[in-house]
């Protein structure tokens, strides 16, 4: 077997010559052509950072030491100040996305982040050192995620997107916005809902849902959402026009006299039972859009309404939209929990009361 990859085995306690020798020896043993970071970079250039990662699929994510090499052509090195968690991160760690793109080990997890560019490789004309950037750092191959003190990424990520952080927007807000904000806007676009329409949002208290509520309000779309009593006031403040009871009580509320008809249902929770119940109240020709695979097969097969899953698309245009909405104050990330790298490593569970919003990882 032959190939090329970068070795990031922690060697910080060895001399420069020993690091280079060890890296080359391991390459010969494995029959691989390795780009040894300690050989390419002088001691003064080696950049050791900590991050949360895995060495194989299915492993419990933990703190690891990595060494970032110099940026290659088209790459940028970013000092990260904040990152945010998404269900996508857990899917990668479990190996569910092994066939999508290319992942290399040891793998630092995390797609969403925000920071300052430290160095740029040749051919990078979109950004410069000192730029504040944010987005979905999904390069191909992918090895350096955002759950680290710094990362190396393609300036134009093959499967993600990066942009400058708008003036006046902090690192934590910027890190919380990319995937959730883009997904919310894309799902709402695909629902076909128009100003004056009424929609039902399932999962309105979560990261994507809180963005979707604000997006709908900005488009003059009326929003109903089931939620707990402790989250009701915060949802109304965010833009929900009417808070409905959850679970079994939702069916009774939707069956009551005067219950509205929906132009669309947006499902961000994978709430199959609730989708099935609420779909009866979607007007003919309306839509059900799920980002969490919450559309029952029977509903997908019928023709009275359009029921479909939504996978994030048009990322450059969508992140431009998110950046504009943040800059204008149209949307703001709801950060329900903040933690450090060590908290992530220890498996600290985020708070689950009120608005859950986004979990942000502080990196500096």
Lookup result for tokens 């009417």: 242
pLDDT of residue 204 exceeding 70: yes
- The whole-number pLDDT of residue 139 equals 97
- Of 118, 115, 110, nearest in space to 90 by CA: 110
**Once rounded to an integer, what is the mean pLDDT over residues 34-47?**
43
Of 44-48, 116-120, 125-129, 227-231, the poorest mean pLDDT is in: 44-48
- The whole-number pLDDT of residue 261 equals 97
- The whole-number pLDDT of residue 345 equals 86
169 within 8 A of 131, measured Cβ to Cβ: no
pLDDT band at 350 (very low <50, low <70, confident <90, very high): low
Lookup result for tokens 């929906």: 262
Alpha carbon 74 to its chain centroid, in Å, reads 23
Q: Highest-confidence range of 26-40, 245-259, 271-285, by mean pLDDT?
A: 271-285
Q: How many residues does this entry show for the chain?
A: 364
- The whole-number pLDDT of residue 347 equals 79
**Once rounded to an integer, what is the mean pLDDT over residues 269-282?**
96
- The whole-number pLDDT of residue 31 equals 39
Partnered with residue 76 across adjacent β-strands are 120, 153
- Of 280, 325, 326, 327, nearest in space to 305 by CA: 280
pLDDT of residue 357 exceeding 60: yes
| SS3 assignment, position 228 | coil
- Of 292, 297, 247, nearest in space to 273 by CA: 247
- Of 285, 322, 291, nearest in space to 308 by CA: 291
Own/partner long-range contacts of 252-257 (Cβ < 8 Å, ≥24 apart): 253/226, 254/278, 254/280, 254/281
Distance between start and end Cα atoms, the chain: 40
**Once rounded to an integer, what is the mean pLDDT over residues 77-100?**
96
More confident residue, 230 or 101: 230
Measured distance CA(315)–CA(313) in Å, rounded: 5
pLDDT band at 364 (very low <50, low <70, confident <90, very high): confident
- The whole-number pLDDT of residue 45 equals 57
What would the pLDDT profile of 180-196 be if each residue is shown by its tens digit? 999 999 999 999 999 99
Measured distance CA(50)–CA(144) in Å, rounded: 11
Rg (CA), the chain: 22
Of 37-46, 56-65, 144-153, 220-229, the poorest mean pLDDT is in: 37-46
**Once rounded to an integer, what is the mean pLDDT over residues 207-217?**
98
The pairing of strands 242-244 and 222-226 is parallel
- The whole-number pLDDT of residue 287 equals 98
Measured between alpha carbons, how far is residue 102 from residues 83, 144, 159, 259, 312 in Å? 21, 12, 10, 48, 19
- The whole-number pLDDT of residue 5 equals 33
Measured distance CA(199)–CA(202) in Å, rounded: 10
Partnered with residue 66 across adjacent β-strands are 49
Lookup result for tokens 């199959």: 272
What would the pLDDT profile of 117-153 be if each residue is shown by its tens digit? 999 999 999 999 999 999 999 999 999 999 999 999 9
User: 168 φ, ψ to 5°?
Assistant: 85, -5
Measured distance CA(172)–CA(270) in Å, rounded: 27
Q: What is the reported pTM?
A: 0.87
- Of 209, 216, 178, 192, nearest in space to 312 by CA: 178
């Amino acid at each position: 077997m032959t190939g090329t990859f970068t070795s990031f085995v922690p060697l910080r306690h060895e001399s420069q010559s020993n690091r280079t020798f060890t890296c080359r020896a391991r390459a010969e043993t494995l029959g691989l052509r390795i780009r040894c970071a300690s050989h390419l970079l002088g001691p003064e250039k080696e950049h050791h950072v900590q991050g949360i990662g895995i060495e194989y699929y299915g492993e419990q994510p933990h703190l690891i030491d990595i060494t970032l090499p110099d940026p290659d052509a088209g790459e940028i090195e970013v000092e990260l100040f904040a990152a945010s968690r998404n269900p996508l991160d857990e899917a990668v760690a479990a190996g569910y996305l092994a066939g999508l793109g290319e992942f290399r080990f040891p793998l630092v997890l995390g797609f969403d982040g925000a920071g300052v560019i430290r160095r740029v490789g040749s051919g990078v004309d979109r950004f410069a050192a000192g730029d504040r950037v944010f987005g979905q750092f999904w390069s191909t191959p992918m090895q350096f995620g955002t759950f680290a003190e710094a990362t190396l990424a393609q300036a134009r990520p093959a499967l993600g997107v990066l942009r400058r952080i708008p003036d006046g927007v902090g690192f934590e807000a910027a890190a919380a916005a990319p995937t959730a904000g883009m997904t919310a806007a894309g799902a709402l676009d695909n629902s076909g809902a128009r100003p004056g329409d009424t929609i039902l949002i399932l999962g309105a208290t979560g990261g994507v849902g809180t963005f979707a509520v604000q997006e709908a309000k900005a488009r003059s779309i009326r929003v109903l959402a089931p939620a707990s009593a402790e989250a009701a006031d915060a949802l109304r403040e965010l833009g929900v026009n009417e808070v409905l009871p959850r679970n079994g009580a939702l069916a009774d509320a939707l069956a009551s006299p005067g219950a509205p008809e929906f132009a669309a249902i947006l499902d961000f929770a994978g709430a199959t039972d609730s989708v099935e119940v609420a779909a009866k109240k979607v007007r003919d020709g309306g839509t059900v859009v799920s980002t969490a695979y919450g559309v029952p097969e029977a509903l997908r097969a019928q023709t009275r309404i359009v029921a479909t899953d939504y996978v994030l698309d048009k990322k450059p245009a969508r992140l431009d939209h998110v950046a504009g909405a943040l800059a204008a104050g149209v949307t703001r990330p709801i950060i329900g929990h903040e933690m450090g790298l060590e908290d992530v490593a220890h498996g600290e569970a985020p708070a689950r009361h009120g608005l859950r919003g986004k979990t942000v990882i502080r990196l500096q």
